Amino acid sequence: MKFYIIIVIHLQTIMLFPDVWIGYSDIEAEGQWQWLDVGENWCPSSWTNWNSVEPSNSGGNEDCATIMAHVGDGEWSDQNCGSGFPALCEHDPWS
């Protein structure tokens, strides 16, 4: 059995941090959001934490989700995948 430690940083308390990618995307099919795992497999999920006006797919070109650092309480936004944000990753400390 594997155990994972997930470290969640409350980003609103660290205002120097930008938004961060979370590995959730609808790049394969618009509106069908899925997680991309380490094996590069797409995993659908029904739980989300979108901001009330997201996902907006602004300009028809927002296919990657971020946790917004300065809006809401860890709410998500879809943004252009080419934006240079850092990524939040899951790590198995026992592997």
Binding positions for Ca ion, rule: CB under 5 A: 26, 54, 56-57, 62-63, 77-78
Q: Which residue is nearest to Ca ion (CB)?
A: 56
Spatial distance between the Cα atoms of 63 and 61, rounded to a whole number of angstroms: 6
Whose CA is closest to 54, among 24, 29, 84?
Answer: 24
CA 16 from chain center: how many Å?
Answer: 18
Q: Minimum distance between the CB of residue 5 and Ca ion, rounded to whole angstroms?
A: 30
CB of 51 to Ca ion, least distance (A): 8
The least CB distance from residue 91 to Ca ion, in Å, is 27
Which residue, 5 or 58, is less far from Ca ion as judged by CB? Answer: 58
User: What is the distance between the alpha carbons of residues 86 and 84, in angstroms, rounded to a whole number?
Assistant: 7
Q: Which is nearer to Ca ion, 19 or 54 (CB)?
A: 54
Q: How far is the CB of 31 from Ca ion (least distance, A)?
A: 7
Task: Tell me if residue 64 falls in helix, strand or coil.
Answer: strand
Q: Is the CB of 26 or the CB of 75 nearer to Ca ion?
A: 26
In whole angstroms, give the CA distance from residue 50 to residue 59.
18
